């Protein structure tokens, strides 16, 4: 659907040069969060951490930072983007970006096999539920939003690090949205969807469809 909007003239407008300082906003913000993680200003204060579930589990900070550093370089240089791969295949029959996605899937598959963590299907997964309808609609909303935004979450992260302030707004939206979803009954869990999950997905789909319909330029 997102690709059809693009083919129909969907466009949020051209990019314009901005002050160099604006390109430093997101890197400085991320650096600030990293410093807060290493040494909170108020002991026991922000940032607050999950006490249970996947959000409470993470690798040691230095290992996470080192791996993220090299993955970031690789992804930035290769322009890795899952949504962009699908878009390019449909619009241009170009499989260049798809090769990176396929490589990621193969690596993840083999890694999980080696670590004994491979579990096919939705049942028994750490954060998945088996309500297939809302699984599908939730991912449909995600894919449509990424198509309209011009890139998947990973791509937006890389672009924000390059100084793209539009991508930075997208990243901030993801962070705020994740906090909102987990605190106000929107996020799902292995037990099923939350009390407001369905409402949020429907509103999100309507908003994205309206954006795709009305934010179009006439193609001459």
pLDDT, tens digit (0-9, with 9 covering 90-100), for 36-78: 878 777 776 667 777 776 677 778 888 888 888 888 888 888 8
Helices and strands, number each (H, E), in the chain: 9, 0
Encode pLDDT of 148-165 as tens digits.
988 889 889 888 888 888
Q: Could you tell me the residue range of the domain that residue 150 belongs to?
A: 2-214
Q: Is pLDDT above 80 for 217?
A: no
Q: Is pLDDT above 80 for 80?
A: yes
> Which residue has 């099923």 as its token pair?
192
| 167: number of Cβ within 10 Å | 22
Displacement of CA 168 from its chain's centroid (Å)? 12
- Name the pLDDT band for 116 (thresholds 50, 70, 90): confident
Q: Is residue 110 part of a domain?
A: yes
Q: Is residue 33 part of a domain?
A: yes
- Name the pLDDT band for 220 (thresholds 50, 70, 90): very low
Nearest-10 Cα torsion for 166, 170, 176, 179: -160
The answer to whether the beta carbons of residues 118 and 109 sit under 8 Å apart is yes
Q: Is residue 87 part of a domain?
A: yes
* Three-class SS of 60-101: CHHHHHHHHHHHHHHHHHHCCCHHHHHHHHHHHCCCHHHHHH
Q: What is the pLDDT of residue 46?
A: 64
C-alpha radius of gyration, the chain, whole number: 19
The tally of domains found in the chain comes to 1
User: Bigger pLDDT: 68 or 16?
Assistant: 68
Q: What is the pLDDT of residue 44?
A: 67
Q: Is residue 176 part of a domain?
A: yes
Q: What is the pLDDT of residue 79?
A: 84
Q: Is residue 95 part of a domain?
A: yes
Q: What is the pLDDT of residue 204?
A: 95
In 3D space, the residue among 157, 197, 144, 147 whose CA is nearest the CA of residue 72 turns out to be 157
Q: How far apart are CA 44 and CA 212, in angstroms?
A: 44
Q: Is residue 219 part of a domain?
A: no
Encode pLDDT of 135-151 as tens digits.
999 999 999 999 998 88
Which of the residue ranges 7-21, 40-54, 173-187 has the most confident prediction, judged by mean pLDDT? Answer: 173-187
User: Average of pLDDT values for 111-139?
Assistant: 85
Q: Is pLDDT above 70 for 4?
A: yes
- Name the pLDDT band for 170 (thresholds 50, 70, 90): very high
Local structure of 192: helix, strand or coil:
strand
Q: Is residue 220 part of a domain?
A: no
Q: How far apart are CA 148 and CA 189, in angstroms?
A: 27
Q: What is the pLDDT of residue 218?
A: 62
CA distances from 210 to 1, 4, 85, 198, 213 (A): 12, 13, 24, 18, 5
């Amino acid at each position: 659907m997102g690709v059809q909007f693009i083919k129909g003239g969907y466009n949020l407008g051209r990019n314009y040069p901005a002050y160099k300082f604006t390109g430093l906003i997101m890197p400085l913000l991320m650096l600030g969060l990293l410093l807060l993680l290493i040494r909170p200003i108020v002991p026991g204060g922000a940032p607050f951490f999950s006490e249970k579930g996947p959000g409470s589990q993470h690798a040691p900070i230095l290992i996470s930072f080192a791996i993220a550093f090299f993955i970031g370089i690789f992804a930035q240089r290769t322009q890795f983007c899952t949504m962009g791969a699908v878009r390019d295949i449909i619009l241009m029959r170009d499989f260049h970006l798809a090769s990176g996605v396929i490589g990621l899937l193969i690596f993840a598959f083999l890694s999980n096999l080696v670590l004994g963590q491979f579990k096919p299907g939705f049942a028994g997964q750490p954060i998945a539920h088996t309500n297939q309808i809302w699984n599908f609609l939730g991912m449909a909303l995600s894919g449509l939003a990424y198509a309209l935004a011009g890139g998947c979450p990973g791509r937006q992260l890389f672009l924000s690090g390059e100084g793209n302030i539009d991508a930075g707004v997208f990243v901030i939206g993801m962070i705020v949205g994740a906090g909102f979803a987990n605190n106000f009954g929107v996020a799902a869990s292995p037990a099923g969807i939350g009390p407001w999950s369905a409402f949020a997905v429907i509103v999100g789909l309507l908003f994205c469809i309206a954006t795709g319909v009305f934010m179009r330029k006439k193609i001459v």
